[in-house]
Amino acid sequence: MTTKTYLELSQDGGGAHKFYEVTVQGTVVSVRYGRIGAAGQTQTSTFPTAEKAQAAAAKKIGEKVRKGYAPAVQGQRAPRSVTRRAVTSAPSTARAVAPVLWRFRTGSAAFGIHVDDERCWVGNQAGEVFTLGHTGEVLARYSLPDGVKCLVADDFWIYAGCDDGRVYDLSSKLPFAAYDIAADVDIFWLDIHEGVLNVADRSGRLTVIDHEDEHQWSRGGRGEHAWMVRADADAVYYGDSRGVTAHTPDGGRELWHTGTEGGVLFGWQEDTAVYAGTGRRKVHRLAKKDGRTEAVYACDSVVYSCATSPGGRFVFAGDSASSVYCFAEDGTRLWKLGTGGGSALSMQYRDERLYLVTTDGSLLCVDASEAAIAAAQQGTVPVAQDVKLAAALPTYAPATTVAAVDAVSTVPAGSVVVECVQDGGRMRVHVVTAGYEPGWNVQFPRAIREPGARYVVDALHPASGGFYRVRGDIRRLL
């Protein structure tokens, strides 16, 4: 016999809008939860008897009812709309065009970018993430359930924040949902530092979630539409329509606030400073220590994005009129050029190359060397390579299951064994292999956790918060 209980919690004024469904089939209890209208996330547990399964289900349902959930009919309440970033892009007023080496058209407006030693990552509004080599060849494609708001890196790990309210870990071949953000948090931007997620949202709120996907604290800002959040070991730097505020990582105590001319539309950070691009055509460099304005970089249109070379020696900005700028550290404008491919919604500089993702869905690689810029200002630019998708390009979608390996014959040398255990009503993952801290938890995808199950991971890395992070592939141990 199968029983199913479906509950919803929906609050007016932008509050919670989520569902919780419990299904009992014999000794198996399945819980599905998420935003109303979405497929949600599923967790399954097996109990010794049907009676214990029914009791566990009743306990789960009772906890949700006490929190305000109520029985509902699935499909009667419409999904809450997701904010899409409203941007315009006018033709550039620059007299010359930037020296674009290659261009990759993703097919949809692109917001997310990350460039590391090996690859360039770009995510678009269609939920696609592509990786490319530095010379422009397309290496892989990820298909995520909803539009990509941003891509961020935390050491080795790469994360995509999506409009479905989840943050996906793209660090291994199969992406996993690493964080499931509350339904009332409409992601605008996010950053991750040592496994701790920091989310800025539409309402002007900063929310901090730990490595176990558990809410730590949140703070309302002075404004709304928070498009900037950057984090380091000392603070979380958050920007909204009223300026930039720094909070302590543990507890969210305000350290300083600096108003800016116009709302903050993008943020960047270096070791000692944060950079805020604003709707009043300026990029502000603020000292991380006290929020003091150290320099201002003036553009000719609304600033959509900004970045720096290492240490902030050069500051780059992209505006709403399809132009890209370079400034000296003190604020002196060195050059302005047209992008040749829409307005840059995000950017990153690396090894004399400036990578832009634009309103027309393109990833552009610009030669930002002194010689190439000088030639471009005189009207001489290379013919941009138009990068195409390969016919046999591998495509990876989020996984809820993993491959299995035999415990005796196929466990690779040097791998680490971990185990799912019940701990105070929560399902945690602990290390079984000797030589690791036995009391530390392992940050692990929730979708594949099952009580008592063991998994083999390629490697574990300690994080400063006293837990381990998985690096490489995950396989179920038989």
Q: Compute the C-alpha angle 170/171/174, nearest 5°.
A: 60
Residue 456 lies in a domain: yes
User: Residues 320, 216: one domain?
Assistant: yes
Instruction: Select from 387, 419, 447 the last residue of a domain.
Output: 387
Residue 151 lies in a domain: yes
| Number of domains the chain contains | 3
Mean pLDDT score, 134-163: 92
pTM of this structure? 0.83
Task: Check which CATH number belongs to the domain holding 455 and give it.
Answer: 2.40.50
**pLDDT value of position 184:** 63
User: Residues 166, 224: one domain?
Assistant: yes
List C-alpha distances in Å: 3 to 6, 27, 154.
10, 12, 42
User: Residues 151, 239: one domain?
Assistant: yes
Which DSSP letter does residue 156 get?
T
Mean pLDDT score, 392-406: 83
Residue 399 lies in a domain: no
Residue 333 lies in a domain: yes
User: Residues 378, 408: one domain?
Assistant: no
What is the rounded CA–CA span in Å between residue 203 and residue 131? 32
Residue 303: band (very low, low, confident or very high) from pLDDT cuts 50, 70, 90: very high
**pLDDT value of position 450:** 84
pLDDT at 408 over 60: no
Greatest distance between any 2 Cα atoms in the chain: 80
Single-letter amino acid, residue 381? V
Instruction: Select from 71, 92, 118 the last residue of a domain.
Output: 71
Mean pLDDT score, 281-295: 98
Report pLDDT digits (tens) over 36-69: 877 777 878 889 999 999 999 998 898 888 878 8
Let me know if 432 is exposed, middle or buried by CB neighbors in 10 A (0-12, 13-18, 19+). middle
Higher pLDDT, 178 or 411: 178
Single-letter amino acid, residue 180? D
Residue 29 lies in a domain: yes
pLDDT at 110 over 90: no
User: Residues 227, 285: one domain?
Assistant: yes
List C-alpha distances in Å: 380 to 374, 376, 383.
9, 5, 10
**pLDDT value of position 339:** 95
List C-alpha distances in Å: 315 to 8, 115, 240, 368.
48, 17, 21, 12
Range of the domain at 41: 2-71
User: Residues 33, 106: one domain?
Assistant: no
**pLDDT value of position 284:** 98
Residue 229 Cα to chain centre, angstroms? 11
Whether 275 contacts 285, CB under 8 Å: yes
Task: Check which CATH number belongs to the domain holding 379 and give it.
Answer: 2.130.10.10
Nearest to 120 by CA among 108, 136, 96, 109: 136
Whether 305 contacts 277, CB under 8 Å: yes
User: Residues 378, 451: one domain?
Assistant: no
Report pLDDT digits (tens) over 376-390: 999 999 999 999 988
Nearest to 110 by CA among 360, 366, 321, 365: 360
Nearest to 266 by CA among 336, 343, 170: 343
Nearest to 420 by CA among 374, 452, 461: 452
User: Terminal CA-to-CA distance of the chain, rounded, Å?
Assistant: 29
pLDDT at 119 over 90: yes
pLDDT at 13 over 50: no
User: Residues 261, 169: one domain?
Assistant: yes
pLDDT at 84 over 70: no
pLDDT at 81 over 70: no
Average pLDDT, the chain: 90
User: Residues 140, 254: one domain?
Assistant: yes
Residue 86 lies in a domain: no
Report pLDDT digits (tens) over 325-350: 999 999 999 999 999 889 999 999 99
**pLDDT value of position 239:** 96
Residue 113: band (very low, low, confident or very high) from pLDDT cuts 50, 70, 90: very high
- Token duo for residue 295: 């320099």
Report pLDDT digits (tens) over 200-214: 988 899 999 998 888
Residue 195: band (very low, low, confident or very high) from pLDDT cuts 50, 70, 90: very high
**pLDDT value of position 68:** 80
Long-range contacts of 9-15 (CB under 8 A, 24+ apart): 9/64, 9/67, 9/68, 9/69, 9/70, 10/36, 10/77, 11/68, 11/184, 14/184, 14/186, 14/202, 14/203, 15/184
CA atoms within 13 A on the CB side of 439: 2
Higher pLDDT, 121 or 18: 121
255-273 core/surface letters (b: 16 or more CB in 10 A; e: else) = bbebebebbbbbbbbbeeb
Residue 14: band (very low, low, confident or very high) from pLDDT cuts 50, 70, 90: very low
User: Residues 372, 415: one domain?
Assistant: no
Q: Name 427's Cβ contacts closer than 8 Å, sequence gap at least 6.
A: 43, 420, 421, 446, 449, 451
User: Residues 106, 67: one domain?
Assistant: no
Report pLDDT digits (tens) over 409-450: 667 778 999 999 988 778 899 999 999 998 899 999 888 888
Higher pLDDT, 44 or 252: 252
